[in-house]
Structure 1
Amino acid sequence: MNARFIHRCTHVLDKEASIAFYERALGLRVSREKGPEDGSWSNTYLVDDNTGFEIELTWNRGRTEPYENGGMDTHIAFEVDDFEAAHELHRQMGCIQKENPKMGLYFICDPDGQRIEILSAKR
């Protein structure tokens, strides 16, 4: 078997806020979107142009209750070239959830509480 990891799905309440977060905080871009003509749901894919990996944001019209996207131990991770600049941006955005300087990493949260580990590419 030859498998390739292509995306991770997370459910979101506010699709536009989530797209804006992933674009600003991590430099991802919308690659495509699909859903029915009635607009009752959509899957928006944001891609990391360096690796091709995508985040799939699933949105359902009318949903008001937060989703359980795996709990506090479940997370995705991103490596950044300029750790200090990324940390400063995330501090300004107010999205840093937890820092672990001894391990050289920190976590940010998207608008729906999805934890994202930030690591330096120079580790």
Structure 2
Amino acid sequence: MTARFVHRCTHVLDKERTIAFYREALGFEVVRESGPEDGSWSNTFMAAPGCPFELELTWNRGRTEPYENGGMDCHIAFRVDDFERYHELHERMGCIQKENPKMGLYFIVDPDGQRIEILPERA
């Protein structure tokens, strides 16, 4: 048997703002979108070149309260090829939530509070 990680779902309040965040912060692009004709909800899938999984952004029309999305203990993580360049970008974006120089990593947060761990590529 073989299992393969396919996507991680996160619920969003402002789909366009979240899409723009992942595009700028990590180079993700929309690869497909689904939902009913009435537009009451949508699932937008985003991926980045070389990344073996997708993000699924679930949006529900009329939702005004933020989603929990697992709380501050849950996160997704990315290894990046130019750690310093990404750190500078994320500083400019103002999305760094916590830094841990001793461990050589930091966390950013998306517009819906999803924590994202940023790690350097392994040497």
Instruction: Place the TM-score, normalised by the shorter chain, in its bin.
Output: over 0.9
> Would you say 1:72 and 2:58 are equivalent positions?
no
Q: Give the letter aligned to residue 83 of structure 1.
A: F
| TM-score using structure 2 length | 0.97
Cα distance, 1:49 vs structure 2: 2.0
Q: 1: distance between equivalents of 2:53 and 2:26? A: 12
1:8-35 Cα distance to aligned partner (Å, 9 max, x none) = 0000000000000000000011000000
Aligned to 1:57, the other structure's residue is in SS state strand
Residue equivalent to 1:29: 29
Q: Give the letter aligned to residue 84 of structure 2.
A: E
| TM-score using structure 1 length | 0.97
- Report if aligned partners of 1:81, 1:122 keep a CA contact under 8 Å in 2: no
Mind listing any 5+ residue stretches in structure 1 that lack a counterpart? none
Q: 1: distance between equivalents of 2:96 and 2:49? A: 24
Q: Give the letter aligned to residue 10 of structure 2.
A: T
% identical equivalent positions? 76
Mind listing any 5+ residue stretches in structure 2 that lack a counterpart? none
Aligned to 1:50, the other structure's residue is in SS state coil
Q: 2: distance between equivalents of 1:122 and 1:68? A: 32
Residue equivalent to 2:12: 12
Note the aligned Cα RMSD (angstroms): 0.8
Residue equivalent to 2:106: 106
Runs of 4+ in 1 over 3 A off after TM superposition: none
User: How many aligned residue pairs are there?
Assistant: 123
- Aligned positions of 1:51-70 closer than 5 A: 51-70=51-70
